[in-house]
Amino acid sequence: MKSKTTLILLVITAAVFAYMFFYERKAPTTEEAKRQAQNVVNFSREKIDGIVIQNGDDKIDLRRRDKKWRLETPIKEQADSSLIENLLLDLESWQKDATIPAKELEADKGKLNEYGLSKPKLRLKLRGKDAPREILFGKDAALEGKMYVRLENSKETFLAAQSIKKEIEKKATEFRDRKLTDLITAQVSRVVLKTAAGEMELQKKGDHWEIVKPLRARGDDQKIADLIAQMTTARIQQFVADDRGDLHPYGLAEPRGSITLFAQDDRSAGRTDSSRGEQGQVLQIGGAAEKEKDQVYVRFSARAFVYTLPKKIEEILNTKPNDVRDRHLVRIDTNILDRITIDAPGKGKTVLARKEENWTIGSRKNAPANSSEVRRLIDTLQNEQVTKFAEEVASDLPKYGLDKPQLQLTFSSFASENTAETKAGERPFATIAFGKVDGDNVYARLGDEPFIVAVRRGLLEQIFTDPLQWQELSIFKFKPEQIHRFSVVTDKELTLVRGANNQWSWLKGTGAIDQVNVQSLLNTLSMLHAVRWVGSTAPQHAFEKPQLVITFTTSPDDKASHKLTVGAAAPDGMWFARVDEREGTFVISNPDFNALRLSLVKPVEPSPAVSASVTPSATR
Per-residue model confidence as pLDDT tens digits over 579-606: 999 999 999 999 999 999 999 999 887 7
Q: Are residues 514 and 399 in the same domain?
A: no
Tally of structural domains, the chain: 5
Q: Are residues 23 and 53 in the same domain?
A: no
For residue range 410-447, what is the model confidence (pLDDT) as tens digits? 999 988 766 656 677 889 999 999 999 999 999 999 98
Distance of CA 32 to the CA centre of its chain: 45
At 146, the pLDDT band (50, 70, 90 cuts) reads very high
User: How far apart are alpha carbons 185 and 227 in whole angstroms?
Assistant: 9
Q: Are residues 288 and 268 in the same domain?
A: yes
Q: Are residues 464 and 551 in the same domain?
A: no
Average pLDDT of the chain, as a whole number: 89
Given 420, 446, 470, the domain boundary residue is: 470
Helix-, strand-, coil-residue percentages of the chain, each rounded to 5: 25, 35, 35
Are the C-beta atoms of 158 and 99 separated by less than 8 Å? yes
Q: Is residue 619 part of a domain?
A: no
Q: Which residue in 501, 526, 491, 497 sits closest to 599, CA to CA? A: 491
User: How far apart are alpha carbons 509 and 380 in whole angstroms?
Assistant: 51
Q: Is residue 610 part of a domain?
A: no
Question: What was the pLDDT predicted at 600?
Answer: 96
Cα radius of gyration rounded to whole Å, the chain: 43
Q: Is residue 156 part of a domain?
A: yes
Given 470, 488, 522, the domain boundary residue is: 470
| pLDDT > 90 in the chain, percent | 74
Question: What was the pLDDT predicted at 272?
Answer: 42
Q: Is residue 605 part of a domain?
A: no
Given 175, 200, 219, the domain boundary residue is: 175
Q: Are residues 23 and 52 in the same domain?
A: no
Name residue 515's beta-bridge partners. Answer: none
For residue range 234-274, what is the model confidence (pLDDT) as tens digits? 999 999 998 888 999 999 999 999 999 999 865 433 344 43
For residue range 180-196, what is the model confidence (pLDDT) as tens digits? 998 999 999 999 999 99
Q: Which domain holds residue 534?
A: 480-596
pLDDT at 494 over 60: yes
pLDDT at 18 over 70: no
Q: Are residues 23 and 91 in the same domain?
A: no
Question: What was the pLDDT predicted at 422?
Answer: 63
Q: Are residues 397 and 428 in the same domain?
A: yes
Q: Is residue 589 part of a domain?
A: yes
Higher-confidence residue: 318 or 67?
A: 318
Q: Is residue 440 part of a domain?
A: yes
Q: Which residue in 53, 191, 189, 38 sits closest to 127, CA to CA? A: 53
Q: Are residues 53 and 28 in the same domain?
A: no
Average pLDDT over residues 55-60: 94
For residue range 86-101, what is the model confidence (pLDDT) as tens digits? 999 999 999 999 998 8
Using DSSP's 3-state secondary structure scheme, residue 452 falls into strand
Q: Are residues 437 and 423 in the same domain?
A: yes
pLDDT at 610 over 60: no
Higher-confidence residue: 414 or 619?
A: 414
Distance of CA 149 to the CA centre of its chain: 53
User: How far apart are alpha carbons 582 and 534 in whole angstroms?
Assistant: 13
Q: Are residues 28 and 154 in the same domain?
A: no
b/e for 23-44, b at 16 or more Cβ within 10 A? eeeeeeeeeeeeeeeebbbebe
Q: Are residues 380 and 462 in the same domain?
A: yes
For residue range 327-339, what is the model confidence (pLDDT) as tens digits? 999 999 999 999 9
pLDDT at 618 over 80: no
Q: In Å, how far are 71, 178, 192, 271, 362 from 283, measured between CA atoms?
A: 21, 15, 11, 17, 55
CATH of the domain at 571: 2.60.40
Q: Is residue 366 part of a domain?
A: yes
Q: Are residues 211 and 154 in the same domain?
A: no
Q: How far apart are the first and last CA of the chain?
A: 136
Q: Is residue 389 part of a domain?
A: yes
